[in-house]
Amino acid sequence: MSRTPHNPWLELGSGPLIAPSLLACDFARLGEQVDAVTAAGGDAIHIDVMDGHLVDNLSVGPPVVASLRKYTDTVLDVHIMVTNPAYYVERFIETGADSVTFHIEAVDRPVELADRLHEAGRGAGVVLRPATPADAIAQAAAAVDMVLVMTVEPGFGGQHFMQDMLPKIEAVRAMLRDDQRLQVDGGINEETAARCAAAGADVFVTGNYVFAGSDMSGAIGRLRRAVGG
The residues annotated as belonging to the active site are: 48, 185
Between the CA of residue 10 and those of 123, 141, 145, 167, 200, what are the distances in Å?
Answer: 8, 16, 8, 26, 18
State the Cα–Cα distance between residues 58 and 16, nearest whole angstrom.
Answer: 30
User: What's the N-to-C CA distance of the chain in angstroms?
Assistant: 29
Residue 110: burial class (beta carbons within 10 Å; 0-12, 13-18, 19+): buried
Helices (H) then strands (E): counts for the chain: 9, 8
Give one DSSP letter per residue of 85-136, joined into a string: HHHHHHHHHHHT-SEEEEEGGG-S-HHHHHHHHHHTT-EEEEEE-TTS-GGG
SS3 content of the chain, % helix, strand, coil (to 5): 45, 20, 35
